[in-house]
Structure 1
Amino acid sequence: MLIWIGSFYSCSITKQIPEDERLYTGATLTIESDSTIVNESGLKSELESVLRPEPNSTFLGMHLGLYYYYKNQKEKPGFINRWLYKQFGEEPVYQSDVEAYEIETLLLNRLENRGFFYSRAASAFEETENKASLNYTVTVPKPYRMASYKMDSMPDSMDDIMKTLVSESPLESGMRFDLNKMKLERQRLDKELKAKGYYNFNDNFLIFEADTNQYSNKNFDLFLKLKNEVPKKSLIPYKISKVNVYPNYEGVDSIQTPSTTRYNDKNFIQKETFFKPKYLDPFITLEEGNYYNPKDSRNTARRLSTIGAYKYVNIQYKEVDTLADDNLGELEATIYLSPLNKRALRAELQVVTKSNSFAGPALTLTLSNRNLFGGGETYNITPKIGYEKQLGGGQNSGNSSLELGLHNELIFPRVLFPIKINEDFFEYSIPKTKTSLSIDYLDRSDLYTLLSGTALFGYSWDANRYVTHEINPISLSYTELLNTTPEFEDILENDPFLRRSFEQQFIAGLTYAFTYNEMINAQLKHQFYFNFTFDIAGNTISLFGKDQGTESPKTFLGFEYAQYAKADVDFHYHFNFGKEQVIAARLFGGYGLAYGNSDVIPFVKQYYSGGPYSVRAFNIRSLGPGTYNPNSDTTDGDIVFDKTGNIRLEANVEYRFPIVSFLKGAVFADAGNIWNSKENPIYNGKDKFGSGFISELGMGAGIGLRVDIQSFVIRFDLAAPFHDPALPKGERFNFDVGSPILNFAIGYPF
């Protein structure tokens, strides 16, 4: 069948090629040399990069792009053909489009740039009835190699520095003549000189001269020189004589009648105290008396932008006229900071779907107050209301869930700690201190009312562009189960593990998260994301726990507290290719261990599987644990509450592609499940993790439709299971396309 299709495409394309043309199928390159070429494969790759034009692409031997191009040339190609051409079509590349002599010139130029002077290039077409390819041959002599690298005379103001920099050069004796390495050397010298204060220097002021007169064996001496008539101000270093800071710059009018506060050798200029100098000063790495260094400017701009109070950071330098010393210039640095609106309101409306066919809207409002106390502080208050109703015709149809929440967060753009910490240690960014206090109310009409409160105190900071740390040394949570229904009491009666997970109401511990994220760099072809999260609770307060007897857990301030450790690893990989096409993959693993005062992890800390951000062919919290089947493994039907465990493994892969404008598509497959390391009797032993866990993974596949408007994504995923671990062995592989699950969510799953 594939051969027949390929023949059909080839025949269809061949008929469209003009009589006086041949389809260009590409070029080959052969290197001939009378001596050994070091890294010949690298040289060949570089030469092949100039071979133009690129031939039309093929897929399994078929020119699909050409096929859609020719189909679109018809008088009435139709909507589908026009769309296919827009996505995949390619204009044909013919033999007449190839300028072989120009390519030969480029090949010789590249060879000379790499030290292979007096090379030769030739080309010849290889033709068939309707196709043509081109063979290039380059004859490469022995290359020129560097005998020594020396610096010519330099002005007194930079002679010593240049000698040191040249002595540290990566250019080594014996290396092949390489123009690209020389360009990199000029850039290195320029960067190093800039870092030492040479504000007006430019790498174009440097030139290289190669002298072969002393040798007869294709060796040369390389000399570094300055061009003639380089401006004198480019050859002297500059120091910063003054640092001016405008903390509340809103245009020229905002600096007409300001007052100046002198703090730590900086001038803070503002009409009234908008941002206190003592809090703003640590973000500024520019110092009076220091040599100019562009790295200080970049660090200052980045650190100031992370405060969260400013929309623009603009650093400008002005040369100061001075006659004091002709070998030293002075710069006046001025930092203009344009603040964001002090108050902002953000609203987010979601439609959520949950297990047991629950669905409904959720509204979240966030009111932000920036620079609250004049030190860059940000206060966020976030009320939330959500309502869900169980849809469908089951016996529980009509049950509802109401969620109310209030989240308060106060962020300080500095370290709050009893002992003073030198913030210069954090070169890339200054840590933020985050405090939060939240309360949530959840009323599930058919089960219970849950009241919970949380409090956090911790720090977060960026170690570099990609790495972020977050640690919360104080993490408190209290949960109280209220107004349970008889139905829920029956569930608790049948599941003592679940009852224990609700009884331990008080959680006090520490959390830490490490994140490496290359997804912020859209230019990367290969993007990686890694997150490690560690959560430990109960160790400190166990020192003050009150013993309630040998058969009862300890309490703290009258509350039974939880004691556990939990670790998660989340890995993402994106391969970007073509026109907005991405292959995205994800691996997740998590394990929680209850110990000491607990024999089960609190319910809110347990894992679940299934849903729009997990295995999409299964409803939220409906997958697992293990091979448990609520319809066959219990006598009373599904008496099991939301299915959870203390072990979770998942893997996902997804191909994303554009459809039209902001509409995107996807094809995906997911696998995963949850287990318990200690058997829960209610699951009849089918929930325990073991060596056969691979055969217990729930697997599904599906298609997706996404509305992506400037990174705001509304996602619809339709998935069906093809491996259900709840079924008996031998029956688990069954692609149940007749019972798909529709997932609705905001944002990409990974």
Structure 2
Amino acid sequence: MRYKLKHIVLIFFCVSLFFGCSINKYIPENDRLYTGAKVSLEMDSILKNKSLLKDELENVLQPEPNSKFLGMYPGLYFYYKNQKEKPGFINKWLYKRFNEKPVYQSDVEPSQVEEILINRLENRGFFYSKANSEFIEKDKKASITYTVKASKPYTMASYNLDTLSYPIYNDIKESVASTKFKEGMRFDLSNMKLERLRIDNNLKKKGYYNFNESFLIFEADTNQYKNKRFDLFLKLKKEVPERAVVPYKLSKVNIYANYSVETDSINTSITQFENKNFIQKELFFKPKHLSPFVTLEKGQYYNAETSRNTARRLSTIGAYKFVNIKYKEIDSLLTDSLGYLETNIYLSPLNKRAIKFELQGITKSNNFAGPVLALTFSNRNLFKGGETLNISAKVGYETQLASGANAGLSSTELGLKGELIFPRMIFPFKINEDFFKYAIPKTKTSLSLDYLNRSKLYQLISATALFGYRWDANRFITHEINPISVNYTQLSNTTAEFEQILNENPFLRSSFDQKFISGLTYSFTYNGMVDTQSKHQLFFNSTIDIAGNSISLLDKEEAPNEPNTFLGLQYAQYAKADIDVRYHLKLTKNQILATRLFAGYGLAYGNSEVIPYVKQYFSGGPYSVRAFKTRSLGPGTYNADDDNNGAFFDQTGNIRLEANIEYRFPLFGFVNGALFADAGNVWNSKENTSLPGSKFSGDFLNELGMGAGFGVRLDLQGFVIRLDLAAPFHDPSKDEGYNFDVTSPILNFAIGYPF
């Protein structure tokens, strides 16, 4: 059944009206449903960022009103329905998952909220402020407005440190010297708490193992001023333990490389390496490979940051389940100026062997569908140096579900991959370890063999070898470089039907003829989204893929005007680069505006006229333009519906441009919603007569496939199941202009967020 847009809007309106009005009859006669509150802020002085102060005040308003969705109260409705004597099975089920207890006007305590608002203002320096409130009642609902009158704030005249005992006085004085506090700053309790934390962190880096920020106290003196100014003094509280004001050094570093609670310490042996004691019952992890991960050293001052760095580095090895660093004070060596700690690092290993099984269901834009089975065997700490061996096997089968020119076609895929990961850098020359202070690189090697049989068309054998490195430069930046990346493909058992397709599409034939791909890939990633509390979150990835340059020095010319070969094989020569930029704006605690821009370009040159098929771009699908099926968009204005043969193949190009925007918001419980719009396409930089309209031109903006829709996401503690329903409003393959086609929606099922 087909609906026009106005019909859908009417349905939403009716449902909203039903839920919104149907709850009124359940509200008690002597009460009203509480619909929320707002703050009206009045200032006695000019204040920068007044909106931030207002937002903070609104965050403390209580209670929270019942949640709404499109003007409805679904949680409240299901709560009321369950109060019936016989609510029924469906209502009980909905009640357990979505119900919300009603919040009434009588549940609001305006006087308590006013006290909290005044308290927040005083914490920000607005002393002697006032607040009052007024209910706004309408029918069976009520809201409240709090009017807050903020007085002129107190500002700082000076910031000083009281005299303390040695040696902590000099260290705190050095920290205070780098403070951001300055004359004229407004009194702000939260800033003082941050200043205490900053000083505590600096002291923790200088050996003060027992110090705590709660030992510091601020005192404000206003006696010398009459214009709301104050002097700020930093002091130590009385009765601070003597151990807290003394720095500590590490007397020894003990590493339990194979720790378990059942470990018999009597039968363990101790091996010394680089001033560290490696304690293990039998050789589990070679000290020379484990030692570089431990940045704690005998004789250095205790440093909380170094301790965390060591724990993080050890966790990245991939051989350990738990990393626990404990310090033991040596009382006999404690003086009034120095203490000593014994460091014990307990490493609990993961199971040496593990098996992972995966079952996937695959559907494609050409109506092919089928299961994929994958099995992975892992062997950890293979050579007693943290190495991990992964052996993966997969079996996949697809068949054509719909009738038409491709009916009866099927695809069988077999794959075998071996991967060996070393938690260190294997390189012919020694590299300065200071370059990898944050994390030690991992060396990855892999070999894979894949077999693809497409019935009535061809068989394809593909072999890949990879050698490269991956490391984190810091908390945000990751580098990955593969200096050796080799791929070999062999096309065989081609049918007459497939040969005809290749003859009609020289670009497609050329992409399959390039049997050998050898080159280098490099990827740079900046991920600012690890700061989940930040209002502005940025992600940036750039990848460079270059192939064929080194081989061109050793190639052989077969015939004039024909591609050269290497070891008798035609090889690919190209350069490819793309960027992926994502920006998230956190509007509120649970609402995010997410955007993404992707651009990629591949240039075939030298020995190649076209980029290999496996290296080309595609567009459409649950992680791309969601109003179009996977790999079905483009290239350019090309219409695959007019080409029965080409429809069997993914629609690709060597240029890709995409942009996405998505508004994410909570619905109820662990269910979130989203409204989104996507645009994108792929093109060829050279004219392909077999794919009319595929060449990139100056009119590319009008050739973008565009769509919009809404989604529902189940966020189960970080595991996200996503359903996105999208419809196109501009299809570049059709000469219909901009028309929101809600009669042909695409339902996308995926795991995780799209960007």
Q: What TM-score results when the alignment is normalised by the length of structure 1?
A: 0.88
> In 2, Cα distance between the equivalents of 1:654 and 1:148?
47
Against the structure 1 CA distance between its residues 588 and 449, is the aligned structure 2 distance closer, same or farther, given a 3 Å change threshold?
A: same
Alignment of 1:402 with 2:409, yes or no, is: no
Provide the residue aligned with 1:145 in structure 2.
155
Contact 2:366 2:648 in 1 (8 A): no
Residue 649 (structure 1) shift: 2.9
Distance in 2, Cα, partners of 1:508 & 1:484: 25
Which stretches in structure 1 are left out of the alignment for 5+ residues? Answer: none
- Aligned twin of 2:743: 737
Match of 1:681 in 2: 689
By how many angstroms is 1:200 displaced? 0.5
1:253 counterpart SS class: coil
Q: Deviations over 1:536-572 (max 9, x none)?
A: 1112222333344541223233332211111223345
Distance 2:19 2:693 in 1: 53
Distance 1:676 1:217, change over 3 A: closer
Superposition map of 1:233-632 within 5 A: 233-323=243-333, 325-517=335-527, 529-548=539-558, 550-572=560-582, 586-611=596-621, 613-615=623-625, 618-630=628-640, 632=642
- Alpha-carbon distance in 2 for matches of 1:259, 1:136: 70
Change (3 A) 1:154 1:655: closer
**Which deviations, in whole Å up to 9, do the C-alpha atoms of 1:681-702 show, x marking residues without a partner?**
222x411112333333345567
Counterpart position of 1:154: 164
Contact 1:241-1:332 at 8 Å conserved across structures = yes
Deviations 1:592-640 (A, max 9, x none): 11111211111211223345554455554443322223554x6x86588
Q: Does 1:645 align with 2:650?
A: no
Q: 1:561 to 1:176 in 2, by over 3 A?
A: same
Equivalent residue number for residue 7 of structure 2: none
Name the amino acid aligned to 2:268: P
The answer as to whether partners of 2:393 and 2:415 remain within 8 angstroms in 1 is yes
Distance 1:259 1:86, change over 3 A: closer
User: CA 1:579 to 1:78, structure 2 compared with 1: closer, same or farther past 3 Å?
Assistant: farther
C-alpha change, 1:162 and 1:15, in structure 2 (3 Å) is: same
Instruction: Indicate the larger mover: 287-296 or 671-680.
Output: 671-680
1:696 aligns with 2:703: yes
Please tell me the residue identity of whatever aligns with 1:645: G
In structure 1, distance between residues paired with 2:15 and 2:751: 40
Whole-Å Cα distance in 2 between the matches of residues 179 and 279 of structure 1? 48
1:299 Cα deviation from its structure 2 partner? 0.4
Among 161, 167, 180, the alignment partner of 2:190 is: 180
CA distance in 2, matches of 1:449, 1:459: 33
Question: d(CA) in 2 for partners of 1:219 and 1:611?
Answer: 61
Q: Residues 187, 506 of structure 1: CA spacing in aligned structure 2 closer, same or farther, 3 A cutoff?
A: same
Higher mean Cα deviation, 371-380 or 28-37? Answer: 28-37
Between the aligned partners of 1:520 and 1:509, the Cα distance in structure 2 is 32
CA shift in 2, pair 1:297/1:741, >3 Å: same
3-state SS of the aligned residue for 1:108?
helix
Aligned-partner SS, 2:309: helix
Alignment-mate amino acid for residue 492 of structure 2: L
Taking the TM superposition and a 5 Å limit, the aligned residue runs for 1:98-109 are: 98-109=108-119
Name the stretch that deviates more: 341-350 or 691-700. 691-700
Per-residue CA distance 1:321-374 (angstroms, 9 max, x = gap): 234743100000110111111111112222223354332222222111111111
Amino acid at match of 1:677: S
Aligned length: 745
Judging changes above 3 Å, is the alpha-carbon distance between structure 1 residues 409 and 176 closer, same or farther for their aligned structure 2 residues?
same
For 1:169, the equivalent position in structure 2 comes to 179
The whole-number CA distance in structure 2 between the counterparts of 1:250 and 1:308 is 17
Deviation at 1:400, TM superposition (A): 2.5
Q: In structure 2, give the amino acid aligned to 1:646.
A: N
| Preserved contact between residue 196 and residue 292 of structure 1 (Cα < 8 Å) | yes
Q: Residue 451 of structure 1 aligns to a residue in which SS?
A: strand
Aligned partners of 1:352 and 1:745 also within 8 Å: no
- Please give the alpha-carbon distance, in whole angstroms, between the structure 2 residues aligned to 1:742 and 1:204: 54
Once the 2 structures are TM-superposed, how far is the Cα of residue 101 of structure 1 from its aligned partner? 2.4
Report the Cα offset of residue 426 of structure 1. Answer: 1.8
Letter in 1 for 2:614: V
Partner residue in 1 for 2:123: 113
2:733 is equivalent to residue 726 of structure 1: yes
Closer/same/farther in 2, CA of residues 368 and 725 from structure 1, 3 Å limit: same
Q: 1:471 to 1:26 in 2, by over 3 A?
A: same
Give the conservation status (yes or no) of the 8 Å contact 2:545–2:577: yes
Q: How does 1:71-86 map to 2 (within 5 A)?
A: 73=83
CA-CA distance at 1:451 after TM superposition: 1.6
* Distance change >3 Å, CA 80–CA 578, structure 1 → 2: farther
Cα displacement (A) at 1:228: 1.7
Deviates more, 1:459-468 or 1:35-44: 35-44
Which letter does structure 1 place at the counterpart of 2:688?
N
Kept after mapping to 2: 8 A contact 1:491/1:640: no
- On the 8 A contact 1:403/1:442 being kept in 2, the answer is yes
User: Mean alpha-carbon deviation: is it higher for 217-226 or for 18-27?
Assistant: 18-27
| 8 Å contact kept, 2:641–2:647 | no
Q: Does the 8 A contact of 1:725 with 1:732 survive in 2?
A: no
CA distances 1:153-203 after superposition (whole Å, capped 9, x unpaired): 211221211222222222222323322222222222211111110000111
In structure 2, relative to structure 1, the CA distance for the partners of 1:708 and 1:216 (3 Å cut) is closer
1:608 maps to amino acid = F
Report the equivalent of 2:3: none
Q: Distance in 1 between matches of 2:326 and 2:370?
A: 52
Query: Any idea what the Cα deviations from partners look like across 1:2-37, whole Å, max 9, x if unmatched?
Result: 999988877656555444334545555455565545
- Structure 1 position 311, deviation (Å): 0.7
Q: Name the stretch that deviates more: 619-628 or 686-695.
A: 619-628
**CA distance change for structure 1 residues 324 and 15 in 2, over 3 Å: closer, same or farther?**
closer
- Secondary structure (helix, strand or coil) at the match of 1:184 reads helix
Post-superposition offset of 1:530? 3.6
**Counterparts of 2:646 and 2:462, CA distance in 1:** 27
Percent sequence identity over matched residues? 65
CA distance in 1, matches of 2:116, 2:54: 13
Letter in 1 for 2:519: G
Q: CA deviation at 1:233?
A: 0.9
Which runs of 5 or more residues in structure 2 are unaligned?
A: 1-9
The more displaced of 20-29 and 238-247 is: 20-29
Distance 1:483 1:45, change over 3 A: closer
Shift of 1:99: 2.1
CA contact (8 A) 1:721 1:737 kept: no
Range moving further from structure 2, 612-621 or 375-384: 612-621
Q: Find the aligned partners of 1:145 and 1:663 in 2 and give their Cα distance.
A: 45
- Following superposition, the deviation at residue 479 of structure 1 comes to 1.3
Deviations 1:195-253 (A, max 9, x none): 11000011111222222333344333222222222111111000001000011112242
Q: Secondary structure at the match of 1:341?
A: coil
